[in-house]
Amino acid sequence: MSTSRADRSGRSDGLKAALFDAMMSCGTEANLAKLLAPEANWNAAEACMQTFGRGLDI
């Protein structure tokens, strides 16, 4: 399994939350999350399709 861009971003979710809680700028992290979310969604859906197949034949 290959490493996704999210794994290589170098920032953990805890650090991003700590920046937000400390009222520090976390715009870069938020924008990165917006950029990576569709890829993560696609990978999750692809894994489901590979595991369970098409499902219902309509």
DSSP string, 1-56: -PPPHHHHS---HHHHHHHHHTT---HHHHHHHHHHHHHHHHHHHHHHHHHH-S--
> What pLDDT does residue 1 have?
42
The one-character DSSP state at 58 is -
pTM over 0.85: no
> What pLDDT does residue 11 have?
56
User: Is there a domain that residue 55 lies in?
Assistant: no
> What pLDDT does residue 6 have?
47
User: Is there a domain that residue 27 lies in?
Assistant: yes
User: Is there a domain that residue 58 lies in?
Assistant: no
Range of the domain at 40: 11-48
Q: How many domains does the chain have?
A: 1
User: Is there a domain that residue 30 lies in?
Assistant: yes
Span 1-56, pLDDT tens digits = 445 554 555 556 677 778 778 887 778 888 888 999 999 999 999 999 989 887 66
User: Is there a domain that residue 32 lies in?
Assistant: yes
> What pLDDT does residue 40 have?
94
